[in-house]
Chain A
Amino acid sequence: MRDVYVVGIGITSFTRLEYPLSEIAAYPAMMALRDAGLAAVDHLYVANMGSGRVNHQTGLASAVADTLSLTPAGAEVIENGPASGASAIKAGFLAVASGAYDTVLVTGAERMREVNNLEATDFVATLTHPIAENIYGVTLPSLAAMFTRLYMERYGVTERHLAMVAVKNQNNALLNEFAHLHQRITVEGILDSPEAMTNNPYVSTPLRFFDCCPVSDGGACLILASREMAEGLGRPLVRIAGVGQATDTHCVHEREEPTDLLAVRRAASQAFEMAGLAPSDVDVAELHDAFTILEIVESEEVGFFPKGEGHLALERGETSLEGRLPINPSGGLKGRGHPVGATGVAQAHEIVLQLRGEAGERQVADARVGFTCNFGGFGNNVVCLAFVREN
């Protein structure tokens, strides 16, 4: 398999966008094409989860290829729930690595705010098992909440640790002009003050308002190319060094060990193996913090910290922007926002920005190896990517 490089990146603001979904997907693609200096690509992948249900638009990839005037290049939509973004990158990676195409455009987009909040939550709840979970009124926050309760019981994670993740990520997002939330919060305000219960009410006990990511619209794009193309375009050489993916049981109650995220562990280990790297080699990571508990647990399952000690590393400040291993310098899903199909690509966008040294005020010094974890469903389909800077 050939080496695959990221030669162009683009992103929209994550907020509420009043543009049609195909434009939200196309805009960052246009930016990425300009970044790369390309006028055409061999193929497109579009990552998206809700176009049919929320936006009444199917065949999204064809619409995107047309609006960008990239026809007759082939195009498909890749849907993998919240992991659509990384899955689309994986599809693009395999397409270039196999030699089938020299340039592939991967764009992820979602327009969830076309409908109201209640409908958006119901849409995400379609990820649950229809007969064994959905009929009970189970939504993703309730699954995350039950998982959190067990994790707190078993490993001693507290509401304070969750609040620390929320504060860290939301404050990181202040340095990210594309992020959804630009509001400083403090642990005092969301946890300690006498009014904390109004400021930060429960969504599903023990998870609270600031433990859950916002509902956002947005798009992000990566252009992947072979080494020859990358060298020819004269862009910084950022290579996708490793890709890993694993699935797990659909029903959360059927997981082998209820406090494990096995799919994360397996996907990460595959990605590191392909890259020939270890977790300790990673300089900066973007993990999937749709709920604050997930950042803590993923940091353990991918191998950055021993199982059950992620919250201790958080306490020591190791994962803050100034720490030894900054996690979610962009603000993560919590601060940057979570347009479901775009997130996986946005995570990669941030890592490429960091490895290129173009992350401005939130630049992690000497970032050479980056890692992303894109968490689909509630952990039943996870895709991990490892990136390295070569020159």
Chain B
Amino acid sequence: MPREIYAYKCRRCGRLHYPYRMVCKNCGENEHNEFDPVPLPKTGTLLTFTELHNPPSDFEVPRLRLGIVELDGGIRITGQLEIGEPRIGMRVEGEVGVVRTEGYDNRYGVVFREA
């Protein structure tokens, strides 16, 4: 079953937030549970990227590719990249998978590939 990353839509003004925040950034009117989870689109454009040569100690790989993607619709997200030669402006497509393992816990996030 494919997993989703959710944005949070304010029930009063419709503004989308990612990640979650307690009070709507636009109207400031709602109580914290007045958000509807909305799955984020999986496609977008690569805004910027980096290849991290010193990843945190629990990553057993020598390098980690990270990027910020502007998803279709305007929400931006940080994610890992499985792209050999990333370029600013490249079209990318994401999939939710395990991005980090802390002890026995798996953390799920988006990994982007070239679209």
Contacts of A203 in B (CB 8 A): 52-54
Tell me which of A119, A136, A142, A150 contacts B47 (CB under 8 A): A150
CA distance A205 to B51 in the complex (A): 5
B54 to nearest A CB, angstroms? Answer: 6
B56 to A122, Cβ gap below 8 A? Answer: yes
Per-residue CB contact flags for chain A residues 98-142 toward chain B (1 = under 8 Å, else 0) read 000000000000000000001101100100010111011111011
Contacts of B51 in A (CB 8 A): 202, 204-205
A147 within 8 A of B: yes
- In the complex, residue of chain B having the shortest beta-carbon distance to the beta carbon of A250: B19
Tell me which of A149, A150, A202 contacts B53 (CB under 8 A): A202
A136 to B100, Cβ gap below 8 A? Answer: yes
B78 to A252, Cβ gap below 8 A? Answer: yes
A137 to nearest B CB, angstroms? Answer: 5
Q: Count chain A CB atoms within 10 A of each CB in B56, B76, B79 and give the residue with the most.
A: B56
CA distance A149 to B42 in the complex (A): 24
Interface size class of A (residues with CB under 8 A): 20 to 34
B54 to A150, Cβ gap below 8 A? Answer: no
A135 to B66, Cβ gap below 8 A? Answer: no
B33 within 8 A of A: no
Given that A135-B99, A136-B99, A137-B99 are contacting pairs, would A204 and B54 also be in contact in the complex, using a CB cutoff of 8 Å? yes
- In the complex, residue of chain B having the shortest beta-carbon distance to the beta carbon of A255: B76
Main secondary structure of the interface of B (DSSP, over half): strand
B67 to nearest A CB, angstroms? Answer: 7
Contacts of B19 in A (CB 8 A): 129, 131-132, 251
- In the complex, residue of chain B having the shortest beta-carbon distance to the beta carbon of A135: B107
- In the complex, residue of chain A having the shortest beta-carbon distance to the beta carbon of B47: A258
Contacts of A147 in B (CB 8 A): 48
- In the complex, residue of chain B having the shortest beta-carbon distance to the beta carbon of A147: B48
B78 to A136, Cβ gap below 8 A? Answer: yes
Contacts of B59 in A (CB 8 A): 137
A138 to B48, Cβ gap below 8 A? Answer: no
Given that A153-B88, A258-B48 are contacting pairs, would A204 and B53 also be in contact in the complex, using a CB cutoff of 8 Å? yes
Per-residue CB contact flags for chain A residues 283-307 toward chain B (1 = under 8 Å, else 0) read 0000000000000000000000000
Tell me which of A119, A129, A135, A254 contacts B57 (CB under 8 A): A119
Contacts of A122 in B (CB 8 A): 56-57
A236 within 8 A of B: no
A145 within 8 A of B: yes
What are the 4 closest A-B residue pairs judged by CB atoms, nearest first? A145-B50, A135-B107, A132-B19, A253-B76
